[in-house]
Structure 1
Amino acid sequence: MSLARAETRRLYKRRFTKLVLLGVLLVLGATVAGTWFSNEKVTPAQVADAKAQADRDYQTSLQSAQQDQQKCQAAQGTADAANWPPGCEGLYTPQPEDFNYVWYMPASFEFVEEFPDMISVLAVVLAAAAFLIGASFVGAEWNSGGMMNLLLWRPQRLRVLGTKMFVFLGWLISWTVVLTAVWAGVFRVIAETRGSTEKLTSGAWQSIGLMGLRGLGMVVAAGALGFAMASLGRHTGMALGALIGLGALQIGVYVMAQLAGLKYPEAYLAPLWGFAWLYKEFVVQDYNSCDFSTSSGCEYATFTLTWQVAGIGMAIFALLVVGTSMWTMRRRDIT
């Protein structure tokens, strides 16, 4: 039996792999069920009622604003004038756009607007599962002594570890692609029956497809990191401990950046890099700066973290960890 076939069989037969996949399906199923029952198809009658209600509220608010204006003008020159703005300037005047009829309608799943969030949910869930499965796949081999026995059969360290990793990543890519396709189909059905597929053009599908590819990249990176960290520590717990340690380090860096008065301390948080990668950008504001404008108030300095920068940063980190695991596999004693 070839090494790749043996590793594939071992991966599929592992009980932990099956349990994690079952957990993934349960979480995704709960998300689908929650979306289905919390949305409904909006009828033309409901749209008309919502528009009428929005117009009624606008007219009521407009009348109230006019009465306030009259009271303010009548109070000028009296003791009651202190209760109103000087010269009655700055009193709120409602505008039609303040009463959007959409806010008066029941929740309805708009595919083009809401499905990107569902892609991010799928990517995060699969990335967490990939990290756990990858860490356990190689960590259990080290902990049980299976890696040493395997190297007696195939005394080629890098080939054994590399084959194990590529088999796992190939399996991970296949599962992610299949689940993403099913995910898109399920939410297309939800949009057809409990929402709307308006604006679903070829351009929208292209944008959704590219976001799905970025989600696939995140899942693969998470799986590779889990595998490499567990291989470095020769135990599944090493990967989990390293993940907790990195989380604590992130918090510490964020706090120190704030204390040091550095601009954009949020830019040092890894989850925001993941957000920028999926949604193409993340804008960070420097709340210690204020360029005051009489028309728009404080305008804070901003920094835009783009998906290209986020992707390059995450790829470099993943390659460093994977490369280090391969180097230690070659250099360290196996016993």
Structure 2
Amino acid sequence: MSLYVTELRRLGKRRFTRYMALIGLLVLLAVVVGTFFTNKQIGPEQRAAAERQAQSQYEEQVRYAERERNECERAEAAGETNPGRFPDDCSVITPPPRDAFQAQWYLPSTFDFRNNFGETLITYAAILGLIAFVVGASFVGAEWSTGGMMNLLLWRPKRLNVLLTKLAALLTGVVTVTVLGLLAWTAAFWAVGSLRGSTEKMTSGVWQSFALTSLRGFALVVVAAVIGFALASLGRHTAFALGGVLAVGVVGQFGLGVVLALADVRFPEAWLIPTYGLAWVGKEVKLENYDACNFSTSGDCQPDILTITWQHSSVLLVTGLVLALGAALWSMRSRDIA
């Protein structure tokens, strides 16, 4: 039996892999079920109810304005002054116009597949990326910590070949699960849109946009798996990868965010890794700085805007991938195994 097939079977039979896959499945299922029960399909009945509620809110404001105007006139006739409550001229107390109460504001939440499915792809990529990172780190880290890697290298002395074969087996599993999960994710939210929203206006251009977003999310999951694998191999323990991510993600990013905020940096989010992850999957992220006002011709305050695109994020992803995997391969080639 080939080493690749053996490693692939080992990946599938590991209890940790199965547990993580189950946890990921439950989380994704919870997202789908939560979306299903928090949305409703909008029909004539819902629109009529929203129209009635808008009319009711308008009538309530009319009654309130009339009461306030009467109180103002009574206070004016009695010579009472209450400048904090009533204006000098009671006639200015009038209800808002009817068109200020739009029926669409009172419609229940609905899932529009065209407008909302793209956001769910970010959620899918984030959850799968986290699971892929942990599984990738554990897959090779457990081999180092238990001595399995040393025993294997006694029979397969080609170090880089062994490490890359393990990586190939890991990526095969990650790719298979990610693709199948993405198909099920799309089908599930199509059902949510059909039963609890709308699936209208789905043109070929919309599907192409979703496909590109899915492809970027797929790439993020693969990169997360490779980096987790590389860091655990470099540190020869699963905890090295998990501890490194904890240090960078929690301590480093949180501490950096506090320092940047205290230093009054214009766009502190531009220095945080999650921003680039969102920009990669979602195509772009716009950061706004409201401390700087650019007054328009109408006198409105327009904040400074910094746009981070997926091209910017690709530089960070490729750099992290090359550094982590390159360091792991160099370490495997140059260091002693014992």
- Relative to the length of structure 1, the TM-score reads 0.88
Q: Residue 57 of structure 1 contacts residue 99 of structure 1 at CA under 8 Å; is this kept in 2?
A: yes
Q: Could you list the per-position Cα deviations for residues 179-213 of structure 1 after superposition, in whole angstroms to 9, with x for gaps in the alignment?
A: 00111011111211122112222222111111111
> 1 CA distance for matches of 2:325 and 2:97?
57
Q: Could you list the per-position Cα deviations for residues 216-249 of structure 1 after superposition, in whole angstroms to 9, with x for gaps in the alignment?
A: 1111111111101101110011111001111211
Counterpart residue number, 2:258: 255
AA paired with 1:259?
L
2:37 corresponds to 1:37? yes
2:303 corresponds to 1:324? no
> 2 CA distance for matches of 1:320 and 1:152?
28
Q: Which moved more, 1:107-116 or 1:8-17?
A: 107-116
Residue from 205, 211, 227 that aligns with 2:207: 205
Q: Give 1:161 deviation, angstroms.
A: 0.7
Q: Residue 66 of structure 2 contacts residue 94 of structure 2 at CA under 8 Å; is this kept in 1?
A: no
Q: Give 1:323 deviation, angstroms.
A: 1.0
Q: Summarize the alignment of residues 1-335 of structure 1 with structure 2, pairs less than 5 Å apart.
A: 1-58=1-58, 61=61, 94=96, 98-247=100-249, 248-292=251-295, 295=298, 297-335=300-338
> 1 CA distance for matches of 2:72 and 2:297?
24
Q: Give 1:178 deviation, angstroms.
A: 0.7
> 2 CA distance for matches of 1:120 and 1:4?
32
Q: Give 1:84 deviation, angstroms.
A: 6.1
> 2 CA distance for matches of 1:273 and 1:136?
25
Q: Could you list the per-position Cα deviations for residues 284-325 of structure 1 after superposition, in whole angstroms to 9, with x for gaps in the alignment?
A: 122432334584543221211111111221221122111111
AA paired with 1:192?
S
> 2 CA distance for matches of 1:158 and 1:109?
49
Q: Residue 136 of structure 1 contacts residue 236 of structure 1 at CA under 8 Å; is this kept in 2?
A: yes
> 1 CA distance for matches of 2:39 and 2:337?
56
Distance 1:99 1:199, change over 3 A: farther
Q: Give 1:64 deviation, angstroms.
A: 5.8
> 2 CA distance for matches of 1:314 and 1:24?
23
- Relative to the length of structure 2, the TM-score reads 0.88
> 2 CA distance for matches of 1:72 and 1:226?
70
Q: Give 1:21 deviation, angstroms.
A: 0.7
Q: Give 1:147 deviation, angstroms.
A: 0.8
Structure 2 spans left out of the alignment, 5+ residues: none
Q: Give 1:14 deviation, angstroms.
A: 0.9
Q: Residue 72 of structure 1 contacts residue 81 of structure 1 at CA under 8 Å; is this kept in 2?
A: no
Structure 1 spans left out of the alignment, 5+ residues: none
Q: Which moved more, 1:11-20 or 1:47-56?
A: 47-56
> 2 CA distance for matches of 1:296 and 1:34?
43
Q: Which moved more, 1:245-254 or 1:139-148?
A: 245-254
Q: Per the alignment, in what secondary structure is the counterpart of residue 265 of structure 2?
A: coil
Q: Give 1:118 deviation, angstroms.
A: 1.8
Distance 1:302 1:142, change over 3 A: same
> 1 CA distance for matches of 2:201 and 2:304?
34
AA paired with 1:298?
C
Aligned length: 333
> 1 CA distance for matches of 2:337 and 2:157?
11
Q: Residue 114 of structure 2 contacts residue 201 of structure 2 at CA under 8 Å; is this kept in 1?
A: yes
> 1 CA distance for matches of 2:98 and 2:311?
40
Q: Which moved more, 1:193-202 or 1:129-138?
A: 193-202
Distance 1:194 1:260, change over 3 A: closer
> 2 CA distance for matches of 1:146 and 1:173?
25
Q: Give 1:99 deviation, angstroms.
A: 3.1
> 1 CA distance for matches of 2:151 and 2:47?
68
> 1 CA distance for matches of 2:208 and 2:115?
14
> 2 CA distance for matches of 1:225 and 1:311?
15
